[in-house]
Chain A
């Protein structure tokens, strides 16, 4: 290892000036959200350059996908963004369905909305809790996990797994909801709704939290777009884009008839669909606080969508439908589809030569693009702000390294 580092010309370049220091953050640093290594080039307390090193979790899932049929690859998508595995399953399932021009039943459609939006809440709860942890406060993490646990219990009851679900699959879902599940889900929402106020008190309006996040790591909308950022990172910079509304027909059709407003600041205001605290005076659009806040708004938005989906799902009379056979052949061709996952736009690209096994599989990960912008945001910030900035991007290494 030492030999390798000596040979790297960039590392040698790093210590040409005497008062500069190289600080290695990670790969096991608690605030790097997994195994991310950041090499900071520091001048006193000021960071002049950040170089992320990724790949510690690389499993070459794309290569594995070339050796399995489309449905067999579903469990591998679970392990990409393992905090929102339902959304990953959905992305791949829809990409295959797009290529096969397959349409799932009405009931399956609403169940998919229900499940993925519930998973979005769980993912944002981790994002919120872990962000508090990054900034040195422990309790929000525990509160967030207390609530997430209940969502995981619901998932466990629906599909048997707590983290890697493989519930949504090509052509539908592996099973229908058990009896009495909807009542439990409703009970959870009832209990969860008032708690969001506590989160706002704990973090969003907390004076220390605001000091640590407002006007830190400001990203202009042009920068966010050029780097292909997506999800709350993009919307936090004021870009009005949400694939659930702007995406491809097969994906937006899933949300047909659902009422939701994209959580983005327009004309200085966030959509007012829920009581939320005012934007602090120090916060500027595109800073860490706004990225965090968009996630908090999306929790409320997803809760609303879950309620709508529950109504529609229970109104559906028809059967759920069976998923496609494991060895169902795909037509030759290629299809690319991006879905709005909690971390951003997850794209799956599928090339088929006409058999059931894809010729080429490509996963375009949102966290990958969101992390690529980190070195621009960290330039000139303080060392203590690096975890604040990286945490605000809410990355998951499983998805970056694939």
Chain B
């Protein structure tokens, strides 16, 4: 089941003004896009004050939109960016909600500077590990996260494997990479 209905969006707009910047209610999983800097306000309202309490965070995903093949890149209609997707779930109403937020691939387009988004750990404690995983694999810096370090890859791993332009290292502590 999925959260539908414009009435709910109006309430969100009234509670957290100007946070919703886009929506697609006709998609397979209807989603709303929020401004990255307002993500905590939106999530806090959804989890604590909204008529439907989204008390559980299921998943955080970062999608790297970058076409590395120059032939295909000439045809795509979008600009390179990172898309954050939050899947929320309400255990009482048994409905889900999808939040999206757009980030640049690099902060201020300086390669190596990680894009930033506020951490939602203060809303759901379970977000801690999910955000660590997204940081580890996709290279997103969650500001305000209590303990942001790699979780799946070794601590001294270089690069962010789920980025489209990632290249496997040739050597890791004497182990051949590719």
Contacts and interface: CB of A to CB of B under 8 A. Distances in A.
A362 interface: yes
Interface of A: 4, 8, 10, 54-55, 58, 60, 62-63, 98-99, 101, 225-229, 239, 241, 246, 248-249, 333-336, 338, 345, 347, 349, 351, 359-360, 362, 364, 368-369, 372-373, 376, 401-402
B171 interface: no
A55 B29 contact: no
5 contacts: A10-B147, A60-B137, A226-B124, A368-B129, A401-B152
A336 B56 contact: no
Contact of A58 (B94, B124, B153, B155): B153
Given A55-B154, A228-B124, A98 B59 contact: no
A373 B98 CA distance: 23
A8 B87 contact: no
The 3 closest A-B pairs by CB, nearest first: A227-B126, A364-B59, A55-B152
Given A336-B59, A401-B152, A369 B85 contact: no
A7 to B, nearest CB: 8
Q: Tell me whether chain A's interface is mostly helix, strand or loop, or mixed.
A: mixed
Given A246-B94, A347-B59, A334 B27 contact: yes
Contacts of A239: 91
A226 B56 contact: yes
Q: Number of contact residues on B: which range applies?
A: 35 or more
A349 B59 contact: yes
Given A63-B161, A227-B125, A368-B129, A338 B58 contact: yes
Given A335-B28, A368-B129, A228 B56 contact: yes
A1 to B, nearest CB: 9
Contact of A225 (B55, B63, B151, B156): B55
Interface of B: 1-2, 27-29, 55-59, 61, 63-64, 85, 87, 89, 91, 94, 96, 98, 124-126, 128-129, 133, 137, 147, 150-156, 161-162, 166
B162 to A, nearest CB: 6
Contacts of B57: 228
Nearest to A98: B28
A349 B154 CA distance: 25
A297 B67 CA distance: 49
A4 B162 CA distance: 24
A55 B162 CA distance: 15
A8 B152 CA distance: 16
B57 to A, nearest CB: 6
A241 B151 contact: no
B74 to A, nearest CB: 15
A228 B89 CA distance: 9
B129 A62 contact: no
Contact of B155 (A8, A99, A249): A8
A55 B124 contact: no
Contacts of A369: 126, 129
Contacts of A368: 129, 133
Nearest to B2: A248
Contacts of A248: 1-2, 96
A337 to B, nearest CB: 9
A336 B29 contact: yes
A124 to B, nearest CB: 23
A251 to B, nearest CB: 11
Nearest to B163: A63
Nearest to A368: B129
Contacts of B152: 54-55, 58, 401-402
Nearest to A100: B28
Given A54-B151, A62-B137, A351-B63, A4 B124 contact: no
Given A347-B59, A372-B128, 11 more contacts: A54-B152, A58-B152, A58-B153, A99-B28, A228-B89, A246-B94, A248-B2, A336-B87, A360-B162, A369-B129, A401-B152
Nearest to B98: A336
Nearest to A51: B147
A60 B161 contact: yes
Contacts of B98: 336
Given A55-B151, A334-B28, A347-B58, A225 B161 contact: no
Contacts of A98: 28
Interface centre among A228, A333, A335, A401 (most CB of B within 10 A): A228
A362 B86 CA distance: 12
Interface centre among B1, B27, B133, B151 (most CB of A within 10 A): B151
Contacts of A359: 63
